[in-house]
Amino acid sequence: MAALVTSILVSVLMTFGIFAYAKRRPVDADLTWGEAMVGSVYVFTLCFLVYGIVPHQWLTLAENEWGFRADKIVYGWGDIVRPISEGGHFPFDITLRAVSDAIAAGLYIVFVAGQVWLWAWWQKRAQRAKEAASSVPEIDKSTYGRPLVKRG
């Protein structure tokens, strides 16, 4: 349980790190080779955590500590989900291992959707900066580029 919580916590903190860096970095700044290498290692580490470690820790927790095994069948809602093999009306067996695998697949779906959203958010930084700059009234500037201020 501690490994799953820790991996999720580190993934969330690393994701917030991307937001913090995006607010600090100028939109029109050129990307240096060093920044590209550090960014690629950072994103690779985050993807490794999200797509490798978090689902693995979930499956390990569910199967080893919580006992979500293939021989345990899900029963619920009276005879609605009770399989025919156990005297119910449901046409197939749903095992706890299938439930844990479905949750792991759901994690992947959520992570892919979040990653695509994060890419789109990063790519639209320039558009948001332009919209924010257009809402601020422009101040007259001198020939040297300094703002003109009236004394009064």
pLDDT tens digits for range 93-147: 888 999 999 999 999 999 999 999 999 999 998 888 788 777 767 777 778 878 7
Q: What is the pTM of this model?
A: 0.78
Q: How far, in Å, CA of 20 to CA of 106, rounded?
A: 27
pLDDT at position 96 is 92
The predicted-structure confidence for 52-79, as pLDDT tens digits, reads as follows 999 999 999 999 999 999 888 887 666 6
Report d(CA 57, CA 79) in Å as an integer.
33
- What is the predicted pLDDT for the residue at 77? 66
Among the listed ranges 3-12, 23-32, 126-135, which one has the minimum average pLDDT value?
126-135
Token duo for residue 139 = 């101040």
> And the tokens for 100?
């844990």
How far is it, in rounded angstroms, from Cα 87 to Cα 146?
Answer: 84
How far is residue 75's CA from residue 80's CA, in Å, rounded to a whole number? 9
Weakest mean pLDDT among 10-14, 86-90, 107-111: 86-90
**Interatomic CA distance for residues 87 and 105, integer angstroms:** 30
